[in-house]
Structure 1
Amino acid sequence: MDFDLQWLLWSVPLAFALGWVASRWDFRQWRRDVTETPKVYYKGLNFLLNEQHDKAIDAFIEAVQQDPDTSDLHFALGNLFRRRGEHERAVRVHEYLLNRADLPKAERERARHELAQDFMKAGLLDRAEAAYQALAGTAFDTESRLALLSLHERSRAWQAAIGVARELEQRGAGSFASRISHFFCELAVEADAAHQPDDAEAHLRDARAAAPQAPRPLVLTGQRAAAAGEHERALRAWGALLSAQSAWFNLVAHEYAASAEALGRAPAALEQLAGAYRQNASLELLDAITRLDPDPASRRARLIEHLRQHPTLAAALALLASARDADREPESPSSDAAAIQALRVALRRAARPLHRYRCAACGFEAEHYFWQCPGCLGWDTYPPRRLEDFR
């Protein structure tokens, strides 16, 4: 039987054409499958940018249902749940990702990191700590240790915080000397509250060793010594504070004057305080100077000069108080005395909101000085000057 070459010539183009048609159909089908999910995803993203979180969640859920194997959609949905405060739903999404056997290692580490953040936001600190510790040695190692440090600060686990901070320093994440010093100071405060003075003293030595220039260990050392009647030691500690961190001396200026009085060293302390005031004028320093100055006229002259240079309500109130002391008529029934008293009350009320400290990081205001802001939990974010001193 003879083979007809003509059929071969026809079959080659036909096979090519059929293959091309089949490939075009597969390509269109693939493109349709691929473009369906992004359309829903972008729809959810648009809702998210427009602050329509409920509609964004619905769109992301629809996208996940259409393509349950896409991990990026699960991450987006879980993060959105967490931002909305729906921590249980965020945990379920990220735990679903962790339970997938086909999830790549990098995606699994990412899911564990997201799950740790879910636990942290939900206040499940024990589970968050375990999740962050499981990320040691991964691409999220530094981030997880920083989160652990914040977690230990929130739970006031100062020894654990010291360990994590030192590990971060060893890994080149920066210097944590100031924070470590604060942690030791917190331990010292707790030891004093538990009537363990030797432990408190040891913690303060560690605090000074961790950050020799930090002001808080010197402040606490002086305060502990003064409370124990060791005024000589208190003056040494606060003198070192004045030399190293003069701005923070405002916090103990009045206590410094009291210890100097107890030792009979008022003239020398007055000279020291006057020098500090010339370098960095503040009402706290002026109050300490006023306490040690025996001359009423000199005290009043200083107040007037301070008020001229720094016209604040607190300074005006202090000047009114000095005028009352000079007159020696606090109970005078005259109309002038009544007017001065009313003015004094009004000034005190108006000055109260300004006689505060304000966090430079978050703006949280407080009547007392905090080494760690109660609002943002930042360390050393409070300038050691009250609001009026900045006006």
Structure 2
Amino acid sequence: MEIDVTWFLLGLPLAFVLGWLASRLDMRQLRIDNRRSPKAYFKGLNHLLNEQQDEAIDAFIEAVQKDPDTSELHFALGNLFRRRGEYDRAVRVHEHLLARGDLSNAERERAQHALALDFLQAGLLDRAEDALGKLEGSKFETQARLARLAIYERTRDWPQAERIAQQLQTSGQGDFSTRAAHYLCEQAAGQSPEQQHKLLSKAIELAPQSGRARIALAELAEQAGDTHEALNLLLAVIESAPSATPLIADKVAMLAIQSQRAGNVQPVLQALYDSTHSLDVLQALAKLRASASGESALREQQLAHLKQEPSLVIAAQLLKTQSLDQDIQRALDKAAQPLLRYRCASCGFEASRHFWQCPGCQSWDSYSTRRVEEL
């Protein structure tokens, strides 16, 4: 059977034309898809600017479906889910990104950090800690360490918190010595006296300017019956951290009286009172003077204070010596009571006692050692 080559020659131009048409159709479809994808993306941005998160999510989902390889769209979608509180969907988006083999190292680290934030905001602290630990050595290392530090503080895992604080200090991310000293003081609580002494001594080495560890050591010495050593430690607090003096002034006066060193301690407290006019230091001075001169010394000290500083607290205490009606005295005491509280400088939370860490906002050293009336 002979094959007529004429048909082949006639078919070649036809095949070329059909191939050209097919390529044109493919290019046209590609341009249409490319136009639709940015359109959905910008539509989502527009919804975001108008704070229409539901519509923005729908638009980004549409864009991701049309271009599943675009990592930026996945990041935008995952962040939107997290902001809306849909943490399970945010986790799925970021885990899908991490599962991709074509992701660059920078994008992989970014996805790992986003996944850690999903777990953190969802309250899954153990999974967040594990995800943050995988960011060691990345550009997110410092942020991850700070987040882990917050987790350890929240779970009261003080040894781990101290370790992270030391890492941040070593890497030059700020001064974490005072916070690390607080962690050591927290660890000391409930330990044996020997272990407490070891941890508190280490805290003093880390942050000699912080008074908390010395105050705790003074309590240990007092419990052991060594009032002389306890007083020396508190006097060292006054020297190294004078702002903490109002917290220990009453104890200093009591120990000075017990160890018969009131004459040596009074000038120290007087110098501090002259510069600060602290109510607590005033009460301690009055106690020292009363032990030597009687109750009249207390009244004289209080009257002298009122001439320099108006104080409802002191006025209420002075009027107790007068023959006031009990209802009037009760009303004065009630009005003065809130003025004796301590206040957090970060969140304004007030409490009847001083905290080293605010129970409201968890800030360290945010409580002033001065009473509310003095602020």
TM-score higher than 0.5 here?
yes
**Counterpart amino acid of residue 387 in structure 1:** V
Does the Cα contact within 8 Å between 2:37 and 2:63 map onto a contact in 1? yes
What do residues 349-383 of structure 1 show as CA deviations (whole Å, max 9, x unaligned)?
A: 33333322222223332222111222332222222
CA distance in 1 between counterparts of 2:31 and 2:347 reads 49
- The answer as to 2:212 corresponding to 1:216 is yes
Task: State the percentage of identical aligned residues.
Answer: 47
Alpha-carbon offset, residue 190 of structure 1: 3.4
The C-alpha deviation readout for 1:41-100, integer Å capped at 9, x for no partner, is 344334434444334333333333333322222222222222333322221221121122
Match for 1:292 among 282, 288, 294?
288
- Corresponding residue to 2:248 among 246, 252, 258: 252
In the superposition, relative to structure 1, how do residues 231 and 23 fare at CA in structure 2: closer, same or farther (>3 Å)?
Answer: farther
Unmatched runs of 5 consecutive residues or more in structure 1: 1-18, 328-336
User: What TM-score, normalized to structure 2?
Assistant: 0.85
Cα gap change, 1:233/1:51 in structure 2, threshold over 3 Å: closer, same or farther?
farther
Q: How does 1:68-87 map to 2 (within 5 A)?
A: 68-87=68-87
Matches within 5 A, 1:1-391: 26=27, 32-191=32-191, 196-294=192-290, 295-321=294-320, 323-324=321-322, 337-338=324-325, 341-390=326-375
TM-superposed deviation, 1:289: 1.7
Partner deviation per Cα, 1:233-267 (whole Å, 9 max, x = no partner): 11111111111111111111111111112223333
C-alpha distance in 2, partners of 1:308/1:31?
85
CA distance in structure 1 between the partners assigned to 2:331 and 2:41 by the alignment: 60
Aligned residues: 353
Alpha-carbon RMSD: 2.6
> Aligned AA for 1:279?
S
State the Cα deviation string for residues 180-238 of structure 1 (Å, max 9, x = none). 111111111232xxxx1100000011001111221111221122222332211111111
Could you tell me how far apart the structure 1 residues matched to 2:34 and 2:120 are? 35
Runs of 4+ more than 4 Å apart: 22-26, 28-32
CA deviation map 1:132-167 (0-9, x unaligned): 111111221222122222222221111112222222
| Alpha-carbon distance in 2 for matches of 1:230, 1:43 | 75
Structure 1 length-normalised TM: 0.82
Instruction: Determine the structure 2 residue equivalent to 1:6.
Output: none
| Structure 2: tracts of 5 or more residues without a match | 1-19
Taking the aligned partners of 1:30 and 1:365, their CA distance within structure 2 comes to 64
Letter in 2 for 1:276: L
The offset of 1:25, in angstroms, is: 9.5
Q: In structure 1, how many angstroms separate the alpha carbons of the residues matched to 2:288 and 2:310?
A: 23
Which residue in the other structure is 1:12 paired with?
A: none
